[in-house]
Structure 1
Amino acid sequence: MAQTKQKIFRFTFTHFFAMLLTVMFIVTVVLTFKLLTNDHCNCPRQETVIQYVAKPKHYTNKGYESNHKLAVLVPYRNRFEELMEFVPYIHDFLNGQRINHDIFILNQVDSNRFNRASLINVGYLETKSNYDYIAMHDVDLLPLNKNLTYLYPQQPFHLAAPHLHPRYHYEKFIGGILLINREHFNLVNGLSNKYWGWGLEDDEFYVRLKDANLNITRPENISTGMNDTFKHIHGKDRKRDTVKCFNQREVTRRRDRQTGLHDVRYKIISYKSMTIGSAPLTVINIELLCDRNVTPWCNCEVSKTEKN
C-alpha cells in the first residue's frame, strides 16, 4: 500500500514538474518576444503622427450645392480677441456662399517658437480624409467683399492677393488666405517645417508650387482695393517673433527639399468641439516636436543661455 502511494506521488509530482516547466517556457517565450518588439531606445522618433484622442465631430452643412468640403485651417496661439471676431464672421461669410465647411483652430501648445507652416501640415493630415480642399487662413484677416469666393479651386487660389491685401503687395506673396485642393497640397509635400518664428514660410511655399508647375490664381474683377477688400484685425501692440538665431537666416533663405508633410513631428493633445456665438468650430491642441539637430532655432532662448 505504501509503495502504491509512493508511485502515485512520484507520478503526480513528475507531471506537475513537467507542467511547471512548460508554463515557464511559454512565459519566457512571450517575454522574449515583447522585449524584441518593444522599443526601449529613448532616441527621437521620426514617425509623423501620434494619436491620443478621438476625432471630433464634423459640422459640415449638408444640403449645400457644392459637393466639395472645405477645411478652414487657422494656425493659432494666444490670439483670443481676434479668434472671437474671426470665427462667427468667417462662418457667416462662408454660409452666405453656401460653402460646405468646418473651421479648425490649430492651437500650438508647446514651448517652442510659433510654427505656422507645421501647424498647417498637421491640420491637413488631420482633415484630409474628410475634406476636399483647405483654406490656409490667418486669424487676423477678414474678407469684406462678398465677391471673394471660397469655392473649390482647380489651381491654388490666393484670395488675399498682393493688389488687395492691406499690407503686403509684392508679386510672390501668397500669405493671408490661400485655397488649395487636397491633391495639390499633397503633391508639393505641404509646407517646410523649418520656419520657427515669424515669416518667410509662405515665400518658400510659393517656390514649391512653382516647382510643381502649379498656376497660382487670384481674384479678378474685384471692385474694392487695398483699403476695403479685407479687414486686418492684428493689434498694433502685438509683437512679431522676428529673431534669427543659430544659422536660421542662412538656412531659411533657401528652398527646403528635405521637410514637409512626411516628417512633421507632433502630438495631438486634445480636440475641443465648441461654438462662438452660433458658429461651430474644432480646436486641435497640438504639441510640435523640434529636432534641434535640424532646426536648433525652434528655441532661441537656448542660444542665449549657451552664450552666457
Structure 2
Amino acid sequence: MRLRSFRSGSFILKFGTFLLFIELFYVIHLIISNIVWTDMDGNILFLMLNKEHRIDRFLKSYEGDCEISLRKQNLRKNTTLCDCLPSVTEHKITINTARTPTWNEIANKYNKTLSSKGEYKPNDCEPLQSVAIIIPYMKRDSHLKILINHLHFILPRQKIHYRIFVIEQNSPSIFNKAAIMNIGFVEAGKLFNFTCSIFHDVDMLAEDGRNMYNCLYSPRHIGSHVNKYGYRLFYNELIGGALAITPKHFRRVNGYSTSFYGWGGEDDDMKNRLSAQSLKITRFPKEISRFTMLKHEQDKHNPTNKFRRSAVDTRKLVYEKDGLNSLNYSIVETRERSLFTLIKANLYISQHNQFNKIKGSCKETRYFLTKSISTDSIEDCSILCYNDQRCLSFDFYANYCRKHFKPCVIEDSNKENRYVYDKKEKISSIQVAFNMKLGICKSKTMGFTEYSLHECARLCQNDLKCHAFSYNFNPDSDQPLCQRKSKQCSDLQSSSDFYTFSRKSFVKYYLDSDKIYYITQGDCYGNDLIPAFISYSVDYCASNFSIPYDTISIFDIFYLSSYKLNVGRIVAV
C-alpha cells in the first residue's frame, strides 16, 4: 500500500514538473517573440526588452540602409540632401473617419503646401527620390477624400518628392484593380519622372509617419499590419494594401497580372512573381507599419472572383506574357486637379485575351440556345460569358449581350460592326482525356476549388492522385466549382448543375536510375523551381524533362491497382 502511494506521489510530482516546464517554455516563447528584432533582410539584429529601444535600434538600422541605398546615389556638390528619417515625421497619427471632408476643404487646407497636380517637393533640401503614389479607384468617393486628405498630411513631413495619381476604371462595370494599377504605372511615367512607385488601396490609412513612403533595394510591403486583422500579418505571403517597388523591379516581373476581374488574387500573384525573380519582400516593424482599413461593404462592382486561383500563377512563361505587355485599354480623360492627377480608363482585356473575334453573326436554328442580357459594353459581356462555363461564345449589339450555349455557325452579316466572340478554351479539348457525364461525384474533394473548368482539368490530368473531378456549371450557385477526386466515381448523384469528368486512362511510368522527373501543382518543374513545360500532361513531362537524381529527396510512390506497377512522382526537392 505504501509502495503504491509512493509511486502515485512520484507520478504526480513528475506530471507537475512537466506542466511547469511547459508553462516556462511558453513564457520564454512569448518573451523571445517580443524581443527578437530583425533588419530589412530578416537577419537578427538584437534582443531587447524595451519596445521603444527596439524601435529606435531598427530605425537606426533603416537609416543605415537608406544611406547606402539612396544618399550615395544622390551625391551632388553644394546640395543639402533630405534626411532618410526626418525628425518632423509624426510618430502616431490620429485617424478620424467620423466625418468625410469635402474636396474644397481639402484643397483649401493644402493649397499653400502643394505646387500643383497633387505634387509636393520640399524646398529646404533635395529629396532622395521622386515617388508616384498610384491609387486604383472605382466608385469610392468618400474613401478617396479621406485618403487624399491623409496622404497630404503625412507625406510632406517625410520630405519626399511625390505626386498622387488616381486611376479610375470607367468601363467595364467589374473592377480589374491589377490592370488599373498597371495602367497607372504606364501613364504616370508619361507625366512624372519617378524613381519609386507605391501602389496604394483607397481604404488604407497609415497610423505612423515613420512608415516611410520610399523604395530601397527590395520591394517593401508598407501596409502590412492592419487593424481589421488585429494588427497581425494575416499570412506571410500577403503584400496587399500598399506596396513600394522600384520601376526597375516592377518591369522585371512584368507588373501585375491583368487576368483578375473582381476581388482577390492579384496580390498573391504579384508575390509569386517577385519570388520567381528572387526579390525578397521587406517590412517595417509592426509598431511602425500599422494601418487602419476604412470600413465598407462588398462592392457590387468588385464581386469575389470565383476563378482567382486559376490566375495566381508562378509559371514563368505565363507572367512573361500577362502583365504590362498584355494591357489593352484607352484613356477617357486625364485631368490635373489641385490634389491629384485623375486618369480615367476603359479596359478591353477579357474580350482580347479569352475570345477570338470573328466577323459575322450566329445563324439561329431550332437547336440554337442563347440568353440575352442588357450590358454597358463588350467587355462586360465578355466577362459574363467567361464566368459562365456553359457559354461558348457571345455577340454584342445595341447594348444587348447574347450568350450562346451551343456551337455557333457563323453567317455573313450585311450589317456593319457585327461580330461573334468565340471562347478560346473549348470543352471538347477536355473530353480528349476525360469522359463527361451529368451528375456529381460525392466522394471527398481534394485541394482548392476556385479554378476555371480548364484549369481544373489540367490540374487533375497532371496529378497522379486525381482520378476524376466534378465541376459546377451554374454561375449563380454557391457550391464549390472544381471538386477533384482521388477515387474513381462509378455512381453519380443526380444534379443539373454538375458534370463529372473521369479520366479515360492512366499512363504507366518507369523511373530511370540516372534521370528522374517530378510534377508539382500540375506543372513540370526544373531544378531552378521554374516550370519548364506549361499545361502538358504527366507523360510529356516525364519523357521531355529530367533533373539529376541527387537533387531529389522525397518520393511519392503510387500503385495502380489493376497492374500493380510502381508509378513515381516527385513532390519535393
- When normalised by structure 1's length, the TM-score is 0.71
CA distance in structure 1 between the partners assigned to 2:291 and 2:133 by the alignment: 17
Please tell me whether residue 274 in structure 1 is matched to residue 332 in structure 2: no
Please tell me whether residue 138 in structure 1 is matched to residue 201 in structure 2: yes
Over 3 Å counting, the alpha-carbon distance change for 1:292 and 1:306 in structure 2 is same
Please tell me whether residue 77 in structure 1 is matched to residue 141 in structure 2: no
CA distance in structure 1 between the partners assigned to 2:259 and 2:160 by the alignment: 33
CA distance in structure 2 between the partners assigned to 1:84 and 1:272 by the alignment: 17
- Provide, for residues 244-300 of structure 1, a one-character-per-residue CA deviation record: whole Å limited to 9, x for no partner: 3xxx4563243342211112111111111223xxxx201101111124253469654
Gaps of 5+ in 2: 1-115, 356-378, 392-401, 406-573
Gaps of 5+ in 1: 1-55
Over 3 Å counting, the alpha-carbon distance change for 1:186 and 1:300 in structure 2 is closer
Instruction: Check conservation: 1:60, 1:69, Cα contact below 8 A.
Output: no
Q: In structure 1, what is the equivalent of residue 239 of structure 2?
A: 174
Instruction: Check conservation: 1:194, 1:295, Cα contact below 8 A.
Output: no
Partner SS for 2:283: coil
**Aligned residues, how many?**
241
256, 261, 282: which one pairs with 1:191?
256
- Provide, for residues 156-198 of structure 1, a one-character-per-residue CA deviation record: whole Å limited to 9, x for no partner: 010112x456336011010000000111111111111111111
Partner SS for 2:121: coil
* Pairing of 1:66-145 with structure 2 (within 5 A): 66-128=127-189, 130-145=193-208
Partner SS for 2:139: coil
The amino acid across from 1:114 in the alignment is F
Kindly, what percent of the aligned residue pairs are identical?
27
CA distance in structure 2 between the partners assigned to 1:58 and 1:79 by the alignment: 19
Instruction: Check conservation: 1:108, 1:286, Cα contact below 8 A.
Output: yes
- When normalised by structure 2's length, the TM-score is 0.39
Partner SS for 1:191: coil
Partner SS for 2:337: strand
* Pairing of 1:222-301 with structure 2 (within 5 A): 222-223=286-287, 229-236=290-297, 238-239=299-300, 240-244=302-306, 248-249=307-308, 251-255=310-314, 256-257=318-319, 258-275=321-338, 280-292=339-351, 294-295=353-354, 299-301=382-384
Please tell me whether residue 212 in structure 1 is matched to residue 277 in structure 2: yes
Instruction: Check conservation: 1:134, 1:182, Cα contact below 8 A.
Output: yes
Over 3 Å counting, the alpha-carbon distance change for 1:139 and 1:214 in structure 2 is same
- CA RMSD between the two structures: 2.5
Partner SS for 2:278: coil
Question: Cα offset for 1:95?
Answer: 0.9
Over 3 Å counting, the alpha-carbon distance change for 1:249 and 1:236 in structure 2 is closer
Partner SS for 1:74: strand
Over 3 Å counting, the alpha-carbon distance change for 1:189 and 1:97 in structure 2 is same
Partner SS for 1:109: strand
CA distance in structure 2 between the partners assigned to 1:67 and 1:128 by the alignment: 18
Question: Cα offset for 1:112?
Answer: 4.5
CA distance in structure 2 between the partners assigned to 1:207 and 1:118 by the alignment: 17
CA distance in structure 1 between the partners assigned to 2:146 and 2:157 by the alignment: 17
Instruction: Check conservation: 2:132, 2:196, Cα contact below 8 A.
Output: yes
CA distance in structure 2 between the partners assigned to 1:250 and 1:120 by the alignment: 20
Instruction: Check conservation: 2:134, 2:167, Cα contact below 8 A.
Output: yes
Over 3 Å counting, the alpha-carbon distance change for 1:307 and 1:234 in structure 2 is farther
Instruction: Check conservation: 2:121, 2:127, Cα contact below 8 A.
Output: no
The amino acid across from 1:95 in the alignment is P
CA distance in structure 2 between the partners assigned to 1:98 and 1:177 by the alignment: 19
Partner SS for 1:267: strand
Q: In structure 2, what is the equivalent of residue 155 of structure 1?
A: 218
CA distance in structure 1 between the partners assigned to 2:281 and 2:158 by the alignment: 22
Question: Cα offset for 1:93?
Answer: 1.1
Instruction: Check conservation: 2:204, 2:241, Cα contact below 8 A.
Output: yes
Over 3 Å counting, the alpha-carbon distance change for 1:127 and 1:238 in structure 2 is closer
Question: Cα offset for 1:235?
Answer: 1.4
CA distance in structure 1 between the partners assigned to 2:259 and 2:305 by the alignment: 14
The amino acid across from 2:287 in the alignment is S
After alignment, is 95-104 or 124-133 more displaced?
124-133
Instruction: Check conservation: 2:272, 2:313, Cα contact below 8 A.
Output: no
Question: Cα offset for 1:154?
Answer: 1.7
Q: In structure 1, what is the equivalent of residue 12 of structure 2?
A: none
Instruction: Check conservation: 2:122, 2:156, Cα contact below 8 A.
Output: no
Question: Cα offset for 1:59?
Answer: 2.6
Instruction: Check conservation: 2:118, 2:164, Cα contact below 8 A.
Output: no
Higher RCO (C-alpha 8 Å, min separation 6): 1
CA distance in structure 2 between the partners assigned to 1:132 and 1:231 by the alignment: 27
CA distance in structure 2 between the partners assigned to 1:253 and 1:211 by the alignment: 13
Instruction: Check conservation: 2:171, 2:346, Cα contact below 8 A.
Output: yes
Q: In structure 2, what is the equivalent of residue 31 of structure 1?
A: none
The amino acid across from 1:67 in the alignment is L
CA distance in structure 2 between the partners assigned to 1:79 and 1:189 by the alignment: 28
The amino acid across from 1:142 in the alignment is L
Instruction: Check conservation: 1:128, 1:182, Cα contact below 8 A.
Output: no
Partner SS for 2:163: strand
Partner SS for 1:306: strand
Instruction: Check conservation: 1:68, 1:100, Cα contact below 8 A.
Output: yes
